[in-house]
Amino acid sequence: METEHHTHWEERYAEKPRIWSGRANTQLTEIVPQLTGSRALDLGCGEGGDAMWLAEHGWNVVAVDVSSTALARAAEDAQARGVADRIDFQQHDLSQTLPEGPFDLVSAHFFHSTVEMDRTAILRRAAAMVAPGGTLLIVDHGQAPPWAAAEVHHHHFPSAQEVVAGLALDDTQWETVRLGTAERDAVGPDGQQGHLVDNVIQLRRR
């Protein structure tokens, strides 16, 4: 795959043997146990922490990322954790292609990139793949992590309300379950303690 997104993220993942912790994201582990369904899509799965957690909790997962390095690490860890048979890792540049739906859960955690992309269009296409009764779960950074580079602190992080407004979903088809911020303590890449604000968007397709 030779796209700008692929090149950027391959460089990013090449910086270290592992970028992320391997643990699932907090909001996912708190919200998903309240859901029913069997088929999940993880958009921008990175090194697979969420996909593996979902598989360990009974879901069949399609986990998508643009980075072949991230996907290879995720597949290796899924094998080691005994969940490889429940996860279909697929490489897509989501600005170009998406996997086939439908899904009972479409999850996008921190699907952010410094490479320009029409994230709203991708999320709208992903929302269209949510089955009736299914969930669209988007968790974004609400503000820069304390350990982020200086330029990130000047970035405008759209609120959960702004993100949903941008999606322009049909209100007759979607019910808002949760829309707002959630705060948590976290450990940064170099072991720093920090306080993070996430934006949480949980929508249910009627």
Residues within the interface to ligand SAM (CB under 6 A):
5, 9, 20, 25, 44-46, 49, 65-67, 70, 92-95, 109-113, 117
Q: Which helix (H) or strand (E) holds 34?
A: none
At closest approach, how far in Å is the CB of 173 from ligand SAM?
A: 26
Instruction: Please state, in angstroms and rounded to a whole number, the distance separating the CA atoms of residues 157 and 149.
Output: 15
Residue with smaller CB distance to ligand SAM, 103 or 175: 103
Residue with smaller CB distance to ligand SAM, 112 or 178: 112
Cβ pair 60, 51 in contact under 8 A: no
At closest approach, how far in Å is the CB of 113 from ligand SAM?
A: 4
At closest approach, how far in Å is the CB of 5 from ligand SAM?
A: 4
At closest approach, how far in Å is the CB of 172 from ligand SAM?
A: 30
Residue with smaller CB distance to ligand SAM, 9 or 53: 9
Residue with smaller CB distance to ligand SAM, 131 or 186: 186
- DSSP-derived secondary structure for 127-194: HTTEEEEEEEEEEEESS--TTS-HHHHTS----HHHHHHHHT--TTTEEEEEEEEEEEEEE-TTS-EE
109 exposed, middle or buried (CB, 10 Å; 0-12, 13-18, 19+)? buried
Cβ pair 105, 37 in contact under 8 A: yes
Residue with smaller CB distance to ligand SAM, 25 or 133: 25
Instruction: Please state, in angstroms and rounded to a whole number, the distance separating the CA atoms of residues 44 and 27.
Output: 16
At closest approach, how far in Å is the CB of 50 from ligand SAM?
A: 6
Cβ pair 198, 141 in contact under 8 A: yes
